[in-house]
Amino acid sequence: MLYTRKGCHLCDNARDLVREVCADEGVAWREVDIDTDPVVSARLSDLTPVVEVDGAQVGYWRIRPELVRLALETTPGVVGGQ
């Protein structure tokens, strides 16, 4: 899950990164605009963009592809996770 907001240049970079990593791993992903949900916005506004895998936060602001890949590969039911 990628949490973003409009007008966020770091979100644009994160979107490209998540798209690439998920394509490489064969994993579906979705993007959520935090400004459409006040609860999510209150929780993540200062951290956006935020990447979560199976509900666990993997990164925020400048997303590291190796951490996203590791989370995908080690989370049960996702890619290679046991």
**10 residue type, one letter:** L
Residue 82 has pLDDT above 70, yes or no: no
Domain boundaries, the chain: 2-74
- Residue in the structure block whose two tokens are 């973003």: 4
pLDDT single digits (tens) 3-21? 999 999 999 999 999 999 9
Nearest Cα neighbor of 68 from 24, 5, 9, 12 is 24
Say what the pLDDT of residue 77 is. Answer: 73
pLDDT single digits (tens) 21-76? 999 999 999 999 999 999 999 999 999 999 999 999 999 999 999 999 999 999 87
Say what the pLDDT of residue 64 is. Answer: 98
Question: Domain 2-74, what fold?
Answer: Glutaredoxin (3.40.30)
